[in-house]
């Protein structure tokens, strides 16, 4: 697992945990958040294709 993938996983899990506590868990919001933060930290080309695809599916909903 790369540093970028580890960061995505950590952010995703933290975000889901936060939203679960708030009582409004949303996988879509967690994916959007992780995508945005990784893009800001590493640049768009660093984002793994799997995350890009997840984000695209989420945005279509």
pLDDT tens digits, 26-59: 666 777 777 777 778 778 776 777 677 766 776 6
User: What is the number of alpha carbons within 13 Å of residue 42 lying toward its C-beta?
Assistant: 17
Q: How confident is the model over 4-24, as a mean pLDDT? A: 66
The whole-model pTM stands at 0.43
Is the distance from CB of 31 to CB of 12 less than 8 angstroms? Answer: yes
Q: How confident is the model over 19-25, as a mean pLDDT? A: 57
* Euclidean distance between CA atoms 40 and 50, whole angstroms: 18
Range of the domain at 30: 3-60
Residue 10 has a pLDDT of: 76
Q: Look up residue 47 and give its DSSP letter.
A: S
Q: What angle do CA 60, 16, 32 make, to 5 degrees?
A: 35
Q: How many domains does the chain have?
A: 1
């Amino acid at each position: 697992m790369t540093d970028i993938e580890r960061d995505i996983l950590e952010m995703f899990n933290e975000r889901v945990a936060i939203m679960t506590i708030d009582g409004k868990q949303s996988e879509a919001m967690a994916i959007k958040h992780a995508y945005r933060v990784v893009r800001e930290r590493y640049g768009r080309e660093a984002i793994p294709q799997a995350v890009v695809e997840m984000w695209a599916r989420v945005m279509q909903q």
